Structure 1
Amino acid sequence: MQRENVVKSVSRALDIIALVGMKKGGLGVTEIANQIDINKSSVFRTLSTLVQYGYIEQENETQKYKLGYKFLDMSTKLLESIDLRKEAKPFLQELENRTNEVIHLVVYDQGEVVYIEKLEGNETLRTHSKVGKRAHMHCTSVGKAILAHLPDNDVLTIIDRKGMPFHTEHTITEKEVLFDELKQVRQKGYSLDQEENEYGITCIAAPVFDHLGNIVAAVSISGPTTRMNDDRLNALGPIMIQTSQQLSARLGYVK
């Protein structure tokens, strides 16, 4: 790699950090010097500076150097500062390009889902959804994708507060039926809304997790039931799971 306008001391420090980070048990001064072709005194001075700032730590028993907890603190701050909409946008656009359907990104808030992003797709579809709108969770694919990964007590609390209002003749209005479906959602990795919220509209959604493993959002594809038939839903399932995994990984989630 060509390096221009590089401060040698900074470059040396970054090289050492990268090298130490690759070795789980840590490295000694001699090992580091041999691998990056720098004299031991320079390596020691650089390590000593990094230790003072918390980026490198030295094991008392082995005297080897390893990454310091400063990196953990920094990575946590980075993950907490991630803009969900910004990070999700490329994945949403990819779904839109692949399907030409309406794509949604929602978050959970106070017992409801809130639409924070909507891509219209190229096909004609009129839905009630819009950015900023709230919706019930029991009758939407995005809502069920989130409910499936909340504790049962939280789901019961949401149902008690918000109820399970009737939207169409397909709406689930019984707790036992909903819990059975949420179990299936966890098993399949995605959820469906088959005209449960709006007549003529079928949706498929998948959950999104943050770096702590908490459910934070859901992504969905919505289309007319005439296009979103069983064959197409079966084909879209793996795509939704892949998108869920990729976006969650982008947010720092490690399964």
Structure 2
Amino acid sequence: MTSTNFSECLSITLASEGGLSLERTDPGNWTGGRIGKGTLKGTKYGISAAAFPSLDIRKLTIDDVKPIYKARYWDEIGGDTLPSGFDLATFDYAVNSGPARALRGVQAVIGAPADGKSGPLTRAKAATAGTREIKALCARRLSFMRSLAIWNTYGKGWNSRVAKIEAKAVAMYLRAQPGVDAKAALADEASKAEKTAGTLQKAGAAIAVSASGGAGTGAALPAEPNLLVLGVVMVVGLVAAGMLVVKAAREKERAEAYRAAGR
């Protein structure tokens, strides 16, 4: 737990935020916080028109945004009091979705009342957070993102970002632990994620084959099948198979992120 982590966490987050975005389908780019409401000012270095409607987003510089990130995000989540790595996972979440939502996610994984505030109890429980809590927080964050209407537009990038943040956060935590071989531990995490991806892919493929009528499996269909029932079963099976494929892709992203973090 150290305030010197702010600069490192900010650098990691800004690498994901990029430059100016004026995407009209992103509610955050509008001063009113909803598509078509207010003025389309955009987002730059993660500073959105929805959160900062009075700023000239186009003209922002890195030096302009540093104090904003410190005051509006890092200090709001109590970044200086969080364990190394857990601070990054919480901070990046806060930048994307607001400090209150990020803190409610934190409170859910550490077992504190979910009021969205960095109070004494939250800080005390968060002080013992480690890799398990980092992973749980990132999983909750991604689940929230999937619930958003703009997931189809930004989902691929968000999935990649959260995987990278998780891996970098775990790496930061491990490297702060005396006597821990962080490189070996990260390689192990990558291996486990890769194995899980393979298992999910195989399960998805098996369900897809079964749902399509058991082609190639030697399975016998009823002599007089109920076409409506078969249709429903097929659709449910294919949806389930698709969900497993999506989860497998997520695990592959995590595997690659952990490998990169361990280099």
The alignment's TM-score, normalised by the length of structure 2, stands at 0.27
Larger radius of gyration: 1
More helix, by proportion: 2
More strand, by proportion: 1
